Structure 1
């Protein structure tokens, strides 16, 4: 199953390509770059992007040390209206929750590259998922030059006018790492790390499982 999922991620690279860049920023943040290569975006492709993000996050948790992440999403080649229509925002919200609460990911900034006004609609939805603190760190760039005010060219891929290898090349290196037997075995082992429902208390508090069942039996107020 893990091998099949990895192959699906790689096939999706003809529609989109992404990678965590090899060099840290001066304040020790990793830079993630995702780029859509086609005007048309489907819900299946977006879901594979989420799954790929989980695979990368799991690997980084095990092997990397950084203060957090800066994300750059390049929408310049895609139709933003089609992307919004294809997006499953419930799945996106779950993905963001897993990254921030499950993996404890600290986000220094999110940078969107697009000249489409439809980005405003997307941001109205996404900002509610991140909350006010991270929402204030979301930036939209109408041109590539304004991105350099936040990230230096020396750590960016050539696709973004930087000095590093192309995003496709760096992504290929990541795919090789994620596809190694060692990492696949690690991911299989980690997939077994789930809650044991046999130990969950059967009694519920007012029909809603708040994780406090059995803690308070009654409360008398004089």
Structure 2
């Protein structure tokens, strides 16, 4: 199973935010009633997804409304990013062939989902597709996971200096915006097996994320930190453990994408009807792409 002990995670998350099943359901119904008054949306969101959006936004009703609006609107506003987002597209299939971008069944502290990212061979970094893959994983998680926050592990052992030239502030800000669409919060980022030129990447990252988020990045020359995060039974075989390999975790994600293929096809066809939007608002404050890009807060 890709997402383990979800009931326990939900119970712990509810305690963290001082919520009960009854109050969570009440908040979910408030958002659902609001959705019914928004004719520009292409569908009525499922309760489980609404509950996850509420959790990710710390049960702020107004912020949840904003993020759900962004979830449906972003594809039309950034067509250059979302033109090949479907997992079955040749571009994304190639990405999944040359990259490990997957999640571990274990949660850190019983709450936070752990992502692994590693390019299989040098000169194969595809930064835009990395953002899209995280978005596609999040789409599945909205249905099956309890989304409190994320721990991200970047293994840079196979990244070349040439790979890093593919990353620039504008592209990175858009990649992070994909992440923010789902309101996902970064608990911690581990950069492991980092080369001497990791500082060049961090300079770019520092330009587009807020100091609070940047302070959560830990850089390690090796991968020994993983032994503090995982037990021997959980640690992926790639790092000397007895847990699932990155190949296996990647395959689990691919299988999930196949299960949700109809959903991804539906997303491709979804459009927001701006002519029916009841409140004519601009997207500047939410997106920050008109004029200078803004720093992103993915907490």
Indicate the residue corresponding to 1:31 in structure 2.
114
Indicate the residue corresponding to 2:124 in structure 1.
41
**Equivalent residue in structure 2 for 1:95, among 171, 175, 181:** 175
Tell which deviates more after alignment, 166-175 or 7-16. Answer: 7-16
The question of 1:64 aligning with 2:141 is answered no
Q: Offset of 1:17 from its aligned partner?
A: 1.3
Residues 170/146 of structure 1: CA separation in 2 closer, same or farther (3 Å cut)? closer
Partner SS state of residue 159, structure 1: helix
Residues 12/76 of structure 1: CA separation in 2 closer, same or farther (3 Å cut)? same
Indicate the residue corresponding to 2:262 in structure 1.
185
Partner SS state of residue 109, structure 2: coil
Residues 199/13 of structure 1: CA separation in 2 closer, same or farther (3 Å cut)? closer
Q: What TM-score results when the alignment is normalised by the length of structure 2?
A: 0.60
Q: Give the number of the structure whose alpha-carbon radius of gyration is greater.
A: 1
Residues 161/130 of structure 1: CA separation in 2 closer, same or farther (3 Å cut)? farther
Tell which deviates more after alignment, 15-24 or 191-200. Answer: 191-200
Given that residues 10 and 175 in structure 1 are in contact (C-alpha distance below 8 angstroms), is that contact kept between their aligned partners in structure 2? no
Q: Offset of 1:198 from its aligned partner?
A: 1.5
Residues 177/58 of structure 1: CA separation in 2 closer, same or farther (3 Å cut)? same
Given that residues 227 and 235 in structure 2 are in contact (C-alpha distance below 8 angstroms), is that contact kept between their aligned partners in structure 1? no
Consecutive unaligned residues in structure 2, runs of 5 or more? 1-83, 287-299
Given that residues 140 and 256 in structure 2 are in contact (C-alpha distance below 8 angstroms), is that contact kept between their aligned partners in structure 1? no
Q: What TM-score results when the alignment is normalised by the length of structure 1?
A: 0.78
Indicate the residue corresponding to 1:86 in structure 2.
166
Partner SS state of residue 113, structure 2: strand
Indicate the residue corresponding to 2:216 in structure 1.
137
The CA RMSD measured in Å over matched residues stands at: 2.9
Consecutive unaligned residues in structure 1, runs of 5 or more? 212-222
Given that residues 35 and 73 in structure 1 are in contact (C-alpha distance below 8 angstroms), is that contact kept between their aligned partners in structure 2? yes
Partner SS state of residue 243, structure 2: coil
Indicate the residue corresponding to 1:217 in structure 2.
none
> What is the CA deviation profile of residues 138-197 of structure 1, one whole-angstrom value per residue up to 9, with x for unaligned ones?
0111011134345544433211233311101111111011012xx121223344554322
